[in-house]
Amino acid sequence: MCNLEDVQASPAQSGQNKVVAVIRLSRWREHVPFTVPLTIVGGLLAAESQVQAVDWRLFAVLAANILAMSFAFMINNIEDAPDDALEPEKKAHNVISCGLLGRREGIAVTVVTFAMSAGIYALGGGLAFLLGGITLALCYLYSARPFRLKARPVTDVVAHALMLSGLLVATGFFVYGREPRAVWLVIAAASLFSAYGQFYNQVADYELDKQAGLRNTAVLLGKGPTSVLGYLSIFCALICAGAAILQGMFPAWLGTILIIGVVICLMFPWELDMRGNLARDGANMQRPGLIVANLVALFWLASNLGLLSIA
C-alpha cells in the first residue's frame, strides 16, 4: 500500500522502498500465473511433435515474455496514474499515483525492461524475436498515448487477447516449430479466454471508465451485451480447446493431472477474481483455473525433461 513517509526515511530505507516500488510497478502477481503455462505449453507443443526435449531457449523466451508482460503493466500504470489518483483504491495500488515512484523513474525502469525483453527474445531465434517484437509493440500501443488501444472499441479486446495470451503461446511454439497447424486451435483458445478476461474487467470497471472518458468496447455496447460477449468467448475457447484435445495435441495422461487439479481446487472456497476483487458471474474460477493450468504445464515440462517418468 502507499506510504509516503517511507519514501522520506533514511537513504538505505528509501533505496529499499524504491526497489519494492519497482517490483510493484511490474504487477508480476497479475501476469506470471498465466505467462508461465502459456509459454511452456507453446514450446512443448512444438518440441514434442518433433520428439525432442526443450532446452534453455524456451526458458529464455519465458523470461522475455515475463519481462514483456511486466513492461505492459508498467506502461499501463504510468499512463493511468492521473486517473488512478482520483480513485482511492486504485491510487493505493499504483505506485506512480501515490508517489512511491516518480513518473521519470517509472519510465526509466520501463525502458530498461523493454530492452531486456527484446534482447532475450533474440536468443529464441528469428521467429520468436519477431513475435516478441510484435508483443512488445502491442504492449506499448495498448496503454501509451496517443495510441491508447485500450480506449478504443474492438482494438482494446483484440490487442489484449493477442499480447496477453495468443502471442505468448506462439513465441514459445516458434522456438522449435515452424508449422503450427492444429496449434492454432490452442492459440485461439488462449486468446479467447483472454478476451473473456478483458470483457469481464471492462464490465467491472464500466462506471470508472465512463467517467474517465474511455471509449472502449463496454462503454460503446453497454454492460449487458459486453457480458454476453464474455460468455461467448468462453464458449468458443472451450470448443477450440476441445478440438485441440481431440486432435491429440496433448498427452492423454495429462487428463489425469487435470482431473486431480480440478478436484483439489474444488475442495477450497474461491471468492476473488484475478485482480483481487470480489468475484462475480463465475469469475471465482479464474484463480483455480490458472492453478490447474500451471500444474498441467509443469508436469508436462517435467516429463519432457525426463524428470518424471510416465508409464
Domain ranges of the chain: 30-304
Domain 30-304 has CATH 1.10.600: yes
What is the value of pTM for the model shown?
A: 0.92
> How many CA atoms lie within 13 Å of 256's alpha carbon, on the beta-carbon side?
7
Q: Grid coordinates 519514501 are at which residue?
A: 7
Number of H helices, E strands in the chain: 15, 0
- Alpha carbons 144 and 106: distance in angstroms, whole number: 13
Q: Grid coordinates 490452442 are at which residue?
A: 186
- The answer to whether the CB of 101 falls within 8 A of the CB of 95 is yes
How far the first Cα of the chain sits from its last, in Å, is: 49
- Alpha carbons 161 and 196: distance in angstroms, whole number: 9
pLDDT value at residue 256: 95
Q: What is the pLDDT along the chain (311 residues), one digit of tens a residue?
A: 565 444 455 565 677 888 999 999 999 999 999 999 999 999 999 999 988 999 999 999 999 999 999 999 999 999 989 888 888 878 888 999 988 999 999 999 999 999 999 999 999 999 999 999 999 999 999 999 999 999 999 999 999 999 999 999 999 999 999 999 999 999 999 999 999 999 999 998 888 888 877 789 999 999 999 999 999 999 999 999 999 999 999 999 999 999 999 999 989 888 887 777 787 877 888 899 999 999 999 999 999 999 988 75
User: Which positions ≥6 away from 105 have C-beta within 8 Å?
Assistant: 18
- Alpha carbons 83 and 61: distance in angstroms, whole number: 33
pLDDT value at residue 4: 46
Distance of alpha carbon 308 from the chain centroid: 28
